[in-house]
Amino acid sequence: MLFLLVIASETSPLWAEKQLVIISPHWEGIRYEFGEAFRTAQKRQTGEDIDIRWLDEGGASDVLKSIRSQYKKRPNGIGVDLLFGGGTDPFEELKRLGFLETYPIPQGILQKLGTAIGGIPLYDADRTWYSAALSGFGIVYNKIVLKRLGLPEPQTWEDLARPELFTWVGSADPRKSGSVHMMYEIILQAYGWDRGWQIITALGGNVRGFTSSSAQTPQDVALGEVAYGLAIDSYAWSQIKRVGNNMIGYVMPEHLTVVNGDAIAILKGAPNKQLAQQFINFVLSEPGQKLWMLNVGEPDGPQQFELGRFCVLPSLYPILRGRTSINLNPFLWQSRFTYDATMGSSRSAVINDLIGSMIIDSHERLARAWGLAIRHRRHNTELKRLATMPLTEQDVKAIADHNRWHDQTFRNQTIRKWASLARNKYGHGQTNTQWLGNLPTLIGLICFVILLYYARRGRW
């Protein structure tokens, strides 16, 4: 009977019309609020109950890997209707691979959307993806910890590379978090290739430990585990609201950062395409966009979770003033920095693996080398050596333009070479952590020598 029920659920047209499958890196609050609001709207409009199944594959980078892997096995469709969240880079990659469906949204909705922000398009010209919300990128910091340690409040990304911040910086792994990857890409574009890698290398040396979730870093800052952290605006504001702005601060470096879209799209071969289209329409409509900004308890607002995100409808900002904790209109925010979204998207996989090999997987050795340079006051000169990368920006462009990174043999061989280079560059000596592991043996040896000494003197 169980077997027959499974077969029926997979083949019944009635079931297919009522279930929507969404893969998303979004946190529980976003899933709950948009799921419940859409179910309620569909019930009111059609009288039908629908089931929404959320798939959790981790952060944006992990989601992208999962989707690519599944399409290799099932090129006509993977049984998933929508990708919701993860910035815009994954959507550009999936579009390039032909894994997104074209969907021209109703003209009435399209006319209300912002078209671009800071020169970055908010939806695809071919109508395969649309920004459902906006994210700002900056630095969250603990004011109490800074005061006690005598550390400065940050103003720029470069501040996170200061030697006095050693072990006091927090960051997620950009290979697992699309938002954190975006911040490292912003640094490379804002400062240029060579200076950008110097900042990323010193920042990486200052990091206490890389987490797998970008949401963890602001929590660590609030707890005082670290003093500074890379964070998108919504995660930082959540901690500020929880513990107060007298304890937690957040800065988006002036003229050195951007506000970017967080997209939604229908995947190729979606089993419930019509329902997926209706979900996109709802998310981009005023009722859906109000969920991002309104406080819990406000009419038309979220039921349980305050989302604290920028919406993509410019007209809502003056209308919702006083009913939201967001007091900044990103469409009025000015920056001299222009982000190249096409370049950032095309080279994202290569940059992730380069950071992974040279900074994260070699973090203990890097931190030891950086700590020694700071201790001996050689950090300014030593940084140039530590931050030397195995390829130029033009080399990365050539790899991306020729799609060489999709050749797994070439990719794996290159990553191994980078890992070897990192070991040679940062030194082969034991790290502080490894010495701690040998401490019991050293203590035992010392005790044995003492006992042997007294035994030979006839006192034991």
Are 228 and 221 contacting, i.e. CB atoms less than 8 angstroms apart?
Answer: yes
Which H helix or E strand runs over 14? helix 13-18
> What sections of 215-355 are H helices per DSSP?
216-223, 233-243, 273-284, 286-293, 316-319, 341-346, 348-355
pLDDT grade for 442, boundaries at 50, 70 and 90 = low
pLDDT tens digit string along 312-362?
Answer: 999 999 999 989 988 889 998 888 898 998 899 899 999 999 999 999 999
Can you list the domains of the chain with their CATH numbers? 11-134+259-329 (3.40.190.10), 136-258+339-426 (3.40.190.10)
Max Cα–Cα distance, the chain, nearest Å: 98
Q: How far apart are CA 350 and CA 355, in angstroms?
A: 9
Place of tokens 């082969």: 428
Task: Sort 127 into a burial class: Cβ within 10 Å, 0-12 / 13-18 / 19+.
Answer: middle
Average the pLDDT over 258-282 and give the result: 97
Our CA dihedral for 308, 311, 315, 317, rounded to 10 degrees, sits at 20
Cα radius of gyration (the chain) = 25
Interval 4-27 mean pLDDT: 64
The whole-number average pLDDT for the span 385-400 is 96
Query: Using one digit for the tens of pLDDT, what is the confidence trace for 62-117?
Result: 899 999 999 999 999 999 999 999 999 899 999 999 999 999 999 999 999 999 98
Q: Per residue in 114-155, pLDDT tens? A: 999 877 899 999 999 999 999 999 999 999 999 999 999 999
- Interval 338-352: pLDDT, tens: 899 889 989 999 999
Closest CA to 213 of 160, 175, 248, 244: 175
More confident of the two residues 186 and 443:
186
**19 has which bridge partners?**
51
Count of all residues that appear for the chain in the document: 460
| DSSP symbol at 79 | S
